[in-house]
Amino acid sequence: MASHIVGYPRMGPKRELKFALESFWDKKSSAEDLKKVAADLRSSIWKQMSGAGIKYIPSNTFSYYDQVLDTTSMLGAVPPRYNWTGGEIGDDTYFSMARGNASVPAMEMTKWFDTNYHFIVPELGPDVKFSYASHKAVDEFKEAKALGVDTVPVLIGPVSYLLLSKPAKGVEKTFSLLSLLPKIIPIYKEVISELKAAGASWIQFDEPTLVLDLDSQQLQAFTAAYADLESALSGLNVLIETYFADLTPEAYKTLIGLKGVTAYGLDLVRGTQTTDLVKKDFPKGKYLFAGVVDGRNIWANDLASSLRTLQALEAVVGKDKLVVSTSCSLLHTAVDLVNETKLDDEIKSWLAFAAQKVVEVNALAKALAGQKDEAFFSSNAAAQASRKSSPRVTNAAVQKAADALKGSDHRRATNVSARLDAQQKKLNLPILPTTTIGSFPQTVELRRVRREFKANKISEDDYVKAIKEEIKKVVNLQEELDIDVLVHGEPEASILQRNDMVEYFGEQLSGFAFTVNGWVQSYGSRCVKPPIIYGDVSRPKAMTVFWSSTAQSMTKRPMKGMLTGPVTILNWSFVRNDQPRFETCYQIALAIKDEVEDLEKAGINVIQIDEAALREGLPLRKSEHAFYLKWAVHSFRITNCGVKDTTQIHTHMCYSNFNDIIHSIIDMDADVITIENSRSDEKLLSVFREGVKYGAGIGPGVYDIHSPRIPSTEEIADRINKMLAVLETNILWVNPDCGLKTRKYEEVKPALNNMVAAAKQLRTKLAGAK
């Protein structure tokens, strides 16, 4: 019985690629140094899978940024602003598209389906001149072959690539991206031809958009694309891989009817109903790559249950046509549990990271073939039983409090307009008030202090003193820049990772466990270390009150209390899979509610409860949206339903498409929302142009913090003017897109100075117009 891995983490067990990329970007190392690190990682991954007995090993899943950008490079679909003149796409062009440069901004970045991974959105139109401009897929196949490893090269499928794209600036929004299929198929044919010549016997096309709600025209595009590719694919075994959700019956019918296709990869973890479709109708003689090992979570597989599922499928598709696989790429999980030396032994026995999931896949394949490892299965069964019976998982008081939430929608008693009036009387802010999102640059020295405190190398007094000094520095800088509502910079969570506040809060909540090296790629070189929610959640004591109160004592200006919201903590963690996600979310909401009320008692008048990942968790199918949004929005309202009218509640969201959930955002009933806007070509503003009325405060981001580029005062003023065309002056805030932890002070200071200058310039203009 054969085994298959959809994809594997790229960063390395100790984030080797992250550090190599950042060293290259900072011009501290050469392109050759970067390529050597990458080659060593690829070699290690391929040899590991080969040694574990995996038959179908992927190649071309390694990336310096993301696989969609790699496909854009392969197709030569470089936007004109990057001045690419043809030929093989080099590092400068590739990374300029991803990160921007001194002259031009980066391409839009958004979430990869409903994960915390991101991709660079292709910008396409009728005038794009496609050409075969990156031979990466072929080069990596040859590289693996030279190491003695026969791989399955993986490409983003042509239809999914187009469906994940957007019309370029200046192109009509109604432009049919699928009309470009005849232009990109010839490039795919060139790639296929070269792979065949290099000795490939299998090829994998990832077509994850098949799990979305597609209309008949979109489904027909898959049929047309693979009919066009059929002759080019002759002689190859072709796997179409889908993941993250169930297929609709119409999509499944389209999939199994594709010309020239040998095998179908299905997510049987999140796609729980897809199994029924297979049992009803599976084409004779085709392979089923059954994704029974979860690629998106870190819990050990229930091997006995998976084996039963596989045996049932084997009776349908045939013994020699069933391949055991992961549900999706293992990119979304941590690398290797072996590196976790500080995890509690009991909890550790419940887990499986990418390396362990490879072993699970092969163990299931061998068991199906009659070579069951009884000791391995027995150990797995014992771990499953331990998790179900462990007293540390359940807390009766927490469950009772969560159950008591039913029957109320937890809205604040006064409407937002009246609250804003009360808050303005207390805060006395100017029009177009300026603020930042929360974090400030996390310096090497700051990270050293945090690291040494965790390692017990410095005392708690020395740690507190160092953090206070950093907060004072950040407060002074904001006052010098004349920012209106301040933040303390989050130095107490200074590990330079995108969701370090999630880990910070998780460390202080019961029901959470933490890893040392459980890093997961978010985009580019950015990695996160998601906490593990293994049990019921509660707040034993105050978490941020001391730091927020300390920061407020340093200034007369309003200081924001900074919290991460329950939905974001949920979506940026590895979540327990033994109860519904909404139940866990309600437990977290109650813990954050306690913290909000303690901050208010401590004199903090502005409290930001970030829900950066609320949109990210939206199910892929529209039929499931309403239920998710109901409990997610309710969870946010629970956190702040008990505060006074004069306490201003902010929230923040970033890097997603919010237009389709704007009414749910309004229903959150926050006083002010700051939201990513600049990198997505200000498409957020279009929802207001279309007539949606928003009465609360709103701060669409005026510049992209994920690029080192420093925007000018004029550029920011222009953005604000566009906002003023669709939003009332008295509700508009001025702020960056997101937190500043990933930037350097030499970038942050001039950018914020220009932001404040632009706000003041427009205040003067608006005052003169009265």
Query: What is the distance between the alpha carbons of residues 240 and 137, in angstroms, rounded to a whole number?
Result: 17
- Written out in words, the top-level CATH class of the domain with range 2-10+54-389 is alpha beta
Alpha helix locations (H) across 641-682?
662-667
| 388 is annotated as contributing to ligand binding | no
Query: What is the distance between the alpha carbons of residues 191 and 138, in angstroms, rounded to a whole number?
Result: 7
Residue 677: predicted pLDDT: 81
Residue 497: predicted pLDDT: 38
Q: Residues with Cβ < 8 Å from 211, sequence gap 6 or more?
A: 242, 243, 244, 245, 246, 247, 251, 267, 271, 620, 621
Q: What is the DSSP letter of 391?
A: T
| 18 is annotated as contributing to ligand binding | yes
For residue 251, CA distances in Å to 204, 402, 604, 633 come to 18, 38, 52, 31
Q: Is 603 left (phi over 0), alpha (psi -120 to 50) or beta?
A: left
Residue 683: predicted pLDDT: 64
Instruction: Note whether 557 and 485 are within 8 A (CB).
Output: yes
How many other CB atoms are found less than 10 A from the CB of residue 44? Answer: 13
| 578 is annotated as contributing to ligand binding | no
| 452 is annotated as contributing to ligand binding | no
Residue 82: predicted pLDDT: 97
Query: What is the distance between the alpha carbons of residues 676 and 740, in angstroms, rounded to a whole number?
Result: 13
Query: What is the distance between the alpha carbons of residues 724 and 759, in angstroms, rounded to a whole number?
Result: 12
Q: Which of 299, 322, 511, 491 is closest to 402 using CA atoms?
A: 511
Residue 495: predicted pLDDT: 39
Q: Which of 558, 519, 86 is closest to 334 using CA atoms?
A: 519
| 408 is annotated as contributing to ligand binding | no
Residue 500: predicted pLDDT: 63
Vertex 26: Cα angle to 21 and 28 (nearest 5): 90
| 526 is annotated as contributing to ligand binding | yes
Instruction: Note whether 759 and 732 are within 8 A (CB).
Output: no
pTM: 0.91
CA 587 remoteness from chain centre? 23
Please indicate whether the domains covering 2-10+54-389 and 415-508+543-768 agree at the CATH topology level: yes
Residue 175: predicted pLDDT: 97
- Written out in words, the top-level CATH class of the domain with range 415-508+543-768 is alpha beta
Q: What is the mean pLDDT of each run of 10 residues along the chain (770 residues)?
A: 94 94 96 97 97 97 96 98 96 96 90 92 97 98 98 98 96 96 98 98 98 97 98 98 97 97 97 93 97 97 98 95 98 95 94 98 97 98 97 95 89 95 97 94 84 87 91 96 95 53 84 93 91 96 94 97 95 95 97 97 97 91 95 97 97 76 92 83 69 86 86 95 90 92 92 97 89
Q: Where are the domains of the chain?
A: 2-10+54-389, 415-508+543-768
| 483 is annotated as contributing to ligand binding | no
Residue 705: predicted pLDDT: 85
For residue 13, CA distances in Å to 32, 51, 193, 202, 494 come to 21, 17, 35, 28, 21
Residue 706: predicted pLDDT: 77
- What single string gives the DSSP state of each residue in 81-99? GG---SSS--HHHHHHHHH
| 666 is annotated as contributing to ligand binding | no
Query: What is the distance between the alpha carbons of residues 332 and 496, in angstroms, rounded to a whole number?
Result: 19
| 10 is annotated as contributing to ligand binding | no
Query: What is the distance between the alpha carbons of residues 604 and 648, in angstroms, rounded to a whole number?
Result: 9
- Residues designated catalytic: 706
| 116 is annotated as contributing to ligand binding | yes
Q: What is the DSSP letter of 619?
A: -
